[in-house]
C-alpha cells in the first residue's frame, strides 16, 4: 500500500483519458440540448449544433411550449407527476414493507417468494406490456390513469434491493430489544426500522422515479387520450406533427419540452444522490 492513500491517490493516465472520454460522451448531447433550446426553428435546422444561432429565442420557446396545442404541455407535466408520486411512491412503499418483511421474518414459503421475485427481475417490463394491456382491457382499465399507475406499483428489483438492504441495515438484536420492551411489530417498523432503512428507501425511490418518469411503452399502448399522456408520449406526439398530411413541424418545441422534462429528474437526482451513495456502500462491508 506504499505510495497510495485515500488523500493522495496515484494518477493513472489511462483512467484519466478514459474518464475524460466518458465525460465528453455523456455531456455532449446535453450541451447540444442547452444550445438548441435558445434557437427558433429555422435556427435549429440551419445552424451548428454546439453553438448559439442567430437569435436568442429561449424565452419565446418556453412561452410557446406552455401555450402550443392549448397549453397541453402543463397537463402532461402534471400527469407525469401523478404517475411518479402515486406510482413510484407506491412502489417504494410496497418494496420497503415487503423487503423488510422478507428479510426479518421467517415464514413458510419464503424461499418460494424469493424465487418468484428473482425470476420477475429477469422479465423486462416491455415483454409484459401487451399481456398487461389485454388484462386491463378486460377490466375496462385501459385509457385511464390506473393503467399506468397499477403496473408501476410493482417493482421486483426494488423489493429485492430492500430485502438485501434490510437484512444488513436492521440488526435483528435491535428488533428483539424492541420486542422485549413491548413495542408492537408495526411500531417497531415505523419508529425503528424505517429510519435505519432510509438510504435503501431513497435508492429504491430513485430507481422507481426514474423508471416511471421515463416510462414510454406502457403508456403508448394503454392510452389514447392525449389528456392522460405523460411527458414522454406527449413529446413524441409533437415530434409526429412533423410528418404526413397537415404536417406542421415544431422541432424547437420538442427540444425545449425535452429540456423541461429532464430538469426535474436532474434535480431529484442531485438532491437524493448523497443518500444513494451511502445506500450503495452500506452493506458492502461487513461491520
Partner 1 sequence: MKNHTMRRVLAAGAGLALAGTLAACGGSSEGTGEAGEGATAEEIEAALEEGGELTYWTWTPQAEKQIEAFETAYPNVTVNLVDTSGAADNNQQLQNALAAGDGVPDVVQLEYQSLLQYQLPGQLTDLTAYGFGELEDLYTPSTWGAVSQNDGIWGLPQDSGPMAFFYNDAVFTEHGVDVPTTWDEYLEAGKELRAADPDVCIGNDTGDPGLTTSLIWQAGGQPFRTEGEEVTIDLADEGTMRWADMYQEVIDADILCDIPGWTDEWYAALNDGTIASITFGAWGPGILESGVPDGAGDWRVAPMLTYDGTPVNAENGGSAEVVPADAPNKLLGVGFLKWLNSSDESIEAFMETGGFPATVKQLESEEFLGYESEYFGGQAINEVLAGGADGVVEGWQYLPWQSYANDIFADTAGQAWLGETSLADGLAAWQAENEKYGTDQGFTVAD
Binding residues for partner 1 (CB under 8 A): 42, 44-46, 129-130, 133-134, 137-138, 140, 142-143, 217, 220-221, 224-226, 236-237, 239-249, 251
Query: Between residues 103 and 253, which has the closer beta carbon with respect to partner 1?
Result: 253
CB of 40 to partner 1, least distance (A): 10
CB of 145 to partner 1, least distance (A): 15
- Residue 68 is placed in which grid cell? 402550443
Give the residue among 172, 154, 160, 152 at the shortest CA–CA distance from 99. 160
- Residue 270 is placed in which grid cell? 442531485
CB 90 within 8 Å of CB 149: yes
CB of 245 to partner 1, least distance (A): 4
Query: Between residues 44 and 201, which has the closer beta carbon with respect to partner 1?
Result: 44
- Residue 108 is placed in which grid cell? 413458510
CA–CA separation, 53 vs 36, rounded Å? 8
CB of 152 to partner 1, least distance (A): 19
Query: Between residues 168 and 241, which has the closer beta carbon with respect to partner 1?
Result: 241
Neighbouring CB atoms inside 10 A of 63's CB total: 12
CA–CA separation, 209 vs 239, rounded Å? 24
CA–CA separation, 101 vs 90, rounded Å? 16
CB of 256 to partner 1, least distance (A): 14
Query: Between residues 74 and 277, which has the closer beta carbon with respect to partner 1?
Result: 74
CA–CA separation, 204 vs 191, rounded Å? 20
CB of 136 to partner 1, least distance (A): 8
- Quote the radius of gyration of the chain (alpha carbons, Å): 24
- Residue 267 is placed in which grid cell? 434535480
Query: Between residues 12 and 137, which has the closer beta carbon with respect to partner 1?
Result: 137
Query: Between residues 109 and 244, which has the closer beta carbon with respect to partner 1?
Result: 244
Residue 55 region by backbone torsions, left for phi larger than 0, else alpha for psi between -120 and 50, else beta: beta
Amino acid at each position: 500500500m506504499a505510495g497510495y492513500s485515500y488523500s493522495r491517490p496515484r494518477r493513472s493516465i489511462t483512467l484519466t483519458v478514459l474518464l475524460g472520454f466518458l465525460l465528453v460522451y455523456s455531456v455532449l448531447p446535453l450541451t447540444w440540448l442547452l444550445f438548441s433550446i435558445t434557437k427558433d426553428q429555422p435556427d435549429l435546422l440551419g445552424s451548428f449544433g454546439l453553438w448559439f444561432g442567430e437569435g436568442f429565442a429561449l424565452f419565446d420557446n418556453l412561452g410557446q411550449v406552455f401555450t402550443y396545442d392549448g397549453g397541453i404541455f402543463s397537463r402532461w407535466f402534471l400527469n407525469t407527476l401523478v404517475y411518479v408520486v402515486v406510482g413510484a411512491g407506491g412502489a417504494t412503499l410496497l418494496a420497503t414493507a415487503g423487503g423488510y418483511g422478507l428479510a426479518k421474518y421467517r415464514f413458510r414459503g419464503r424461499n418460494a417468494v424469493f424465487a418468484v421475485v428473482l425470476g420477475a427481475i429477469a422479465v423486462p417490463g416491455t415483454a409484459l406490456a401487451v399481456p398487461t394491456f389485454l388484462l386491463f382491457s378486460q377490466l375496462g382499465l385501459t385509457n385511464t390513469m390506473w393503467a399506468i399507475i397499477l403496473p408501476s406499483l410493482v417493482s421486483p428489483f426494488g423489493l429485492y434491493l430492500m430485502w438485501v438492504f434490510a437484512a444488513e441495515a436492521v440488526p435483528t438484536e435491535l428488533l428483539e430489544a424492541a420486542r422485549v420492551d413491548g413495542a408492537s411489530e408495526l411500531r417497531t417498523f415505523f419508529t425503528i426500522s424505517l429510519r435505519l432503512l432510509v438510504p435503501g428507501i431513497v435508492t429504491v425511490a430513485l430507481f422507481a422515479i426514474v423508471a416511471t418518469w421515463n416510462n414510454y411503452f406502457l403508456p403508448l399502448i394503454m392510452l389514447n387520450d392525449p389528456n392522460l399522456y405523460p411527458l414522454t408520449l406527449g413529446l413524441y406526439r409533437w415530434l409526429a406533427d412533423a410528418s404526413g398530411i397537415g404536417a406542421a413541424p415544431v422541432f424547437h418545441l420538442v427540444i425545449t419540452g425535452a429540456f423541461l422534462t429532464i430538469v426535474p429528474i436532474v434535480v431529484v437526482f442531485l438532491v437524493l444522490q448523497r443518500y444513494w451513495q451511502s445506500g450503495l456502500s452500506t452493506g458492502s462491508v461487513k461491520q
